[in-house]
Amino acid sequence: MQVSASFYRACALLLLSPTWAWASDYTPGAGDYCSQAQKIIAGTELEPEVMRHTNYEAFVASKPTDQPFVIHRYDSAPLHSTMAINTVVSCKLRTAERINAAHDNEAGAVPVAEAEFSCDEVHRLVLAGTVASVPVPERALDTADWIVEPEDMRFIGPRWLKPWPFNPVSRDQGGLYRLHTRALYAPHAWWVPMPERFLGNYYCHLVSPQYLEAMVRGMVKFP
């Protein structure tokens, strides 16, 4: 019987997300954005090395590694204005199960990655942290002006990459702003035959924190 990736993810959520587990907070400027996203996604305090790509094709070809623990980042979709702000940050991360498998926990020990969270959870925490970092008198938008959409989950690379560029923010007819993320999930243990480097990965297209802060401050004229 063939089992879908979504089934494996549901199992990972049950096994790795006990009732006491919570996602790490997001603190603007406290380390690399993709590094903070990795800690949120996997519920870990491990500090990955972040390889930042300026070439899109090199980023597409890249894969996270375990030893050393390396994840990948690509900033894109700059605003067509005088503001030098990218709107999207793409992060190639590891799943909690892959991190735990790579770090040989002793029997009964607390795993180094304690939970399996989602790309939209990253957005919830980034939104909360970003709004909180802007003094109230300087806010044009507050958390009540936003809706965080569930991640748009894909299971193969081309469908994560396209269509491109990715648009992380939209505005609905009621005037609310919506945060969008597109995710790719490949379980660490999966029936689909593929090279080891493809397994245990969690990719996210996320809103750029600088772009989000600029919107909160009313510095971006959104259509």
Residue 21: the pLDDT is 43
- At residue 87, φ and ψ (nearest 5 deg) are -95, -20
Residue 9 lies in a domain: yes
Residue 93 lies in a domain: yes
Residue 22 lies in a domain: yes
Residue 223 lies in a domain: no
Grouping H, G, I as helix, E, B as strand and the rest as coil, residue 77 is: strand
Q: Residue 98 is part of which domain span? A: 5-216
Residue 191: the pLDDT is 54
| pLDDT over 90 percentage in the chain | 60
Q: What is the C-alpha to C-alpha distance for residues 122 and 40, in angstroms, rounded to an integer?
A: 6
Find how far residue 139's CA is from the centre of its chain: 25
Out of 54-58, 117-121, 152-156, least confident range: 152-156
Residue 162 lies in a domain: yes
Residue 163: the pLDDT is 87
Q: What is the C-alpha to C-alpha distance for residues 8 and 4, in angstroms, rounded to an integer?
A: 7
Overall domain count for the chain: 1
More confident residue, 128 or 164: 128
Q: Per-residue pLDDT for 145 more than 90? A: yes
Model pTM score: 0.84
Amino acid at 43: G
Q: Which residue has the tokens 């994840």?
A: 71
